[in-house]
Amino acid sequence: KSGVSEKNINSVVADVTTSDGQDQLVNTTLKKFGKLDILVNNAGAGIPDTTGAKGTDQSIDTYHKTFQLNLQAVIEMTKKVKPHLIESKGEIVNVSSIAAGPQAHPDFVYYSLAKAALDQYTRSSAIDLIQHGVRVNSVSPGAVMTGFGEAMGIPQEGFKKLYDFMAQHKECLPSRVVATPEDIANIILFLADRKLSSYIIGQSIVADGGTSLVMGMQAHDMMSILTAP
């Protein structure tokens, strides 16, 4: 679909929450291409609680699993590719989320916590690694039509209904348009291209159609309310 030749693609099926899976990803890439230029930490999901609990009632096991995928795997992958990226003067792009805040997300307590921690890790690792010539940045998507819902145990049709609702209400999505994976991929490409973004270090680009900028009252015509007879 992308038009990229197969010889330039390394397809790996691995669990990045395991050391073996991480090593498989790194080692097969090095074997095929001889070096590492860019690490994109894109694996992530809101882990559903096995008991069906919501909010603060979710189990500590769910907390650990959520952090293992959304934060710990990023830290471990960064440590493993660090020497290779120092050698190539490469780039790291983390995929965060607007769920990181500052708005509250009671339905996704642990996921939002993990993404907030990821944002701080992006900032801290960026300052640590830039001394070696390696840049670290991130992108924080809002609503994107992907298979994310299925990873949470929610049928894709359910997320489509949610996104259709958001697109019809400006207090949810001012742009009235749900992003595609390509929209986010283009931002990742920008952050991974040193010619285009060399002076951006430790930042997160928010790509959410305006969602995080809108408070409930702002979504309505305040002037018409203020001036109404």
The residue ranges of DSSP E strands in 81-203, in sequence order, are 91-95, 135-141
Residue found by looking up tokens 């305040």 in the block: 222
Clarify whether 163 is annotated catalytic.
Answer: no
* Tokens 């840049």 -> residue: 135
Question: Residue 56: is it exposed, middle or buried by C-beta count within 10 angstroms (0-12/13-18/19+)?
Answer: exposed
User: How far is Cα 202 from Cα 10, in angstroms, rounded to an integer?
Assistant: 28
Q: Is the peptide bond before 174 cis (omega within 30 degrees of 0)?
A: no
Q: 3-state DSSP helix/strand/coil percent for the chain, to nearest 5? A: 55, 10, 35
Dist. CA 77–CA 14, nearest whole Å: 13
One of 63, 110, 111, 199 is an active-site residue; which one?
111
Q: Which residues of 126-151 are buried (b: 16+ CB within 10 A; e: fewer)?
A: beebeeeebbbbbbbbbbbeeebbee
β-pairing verdict for 135-141 and 91-95: parallel
Active-site amino acid positions: 111
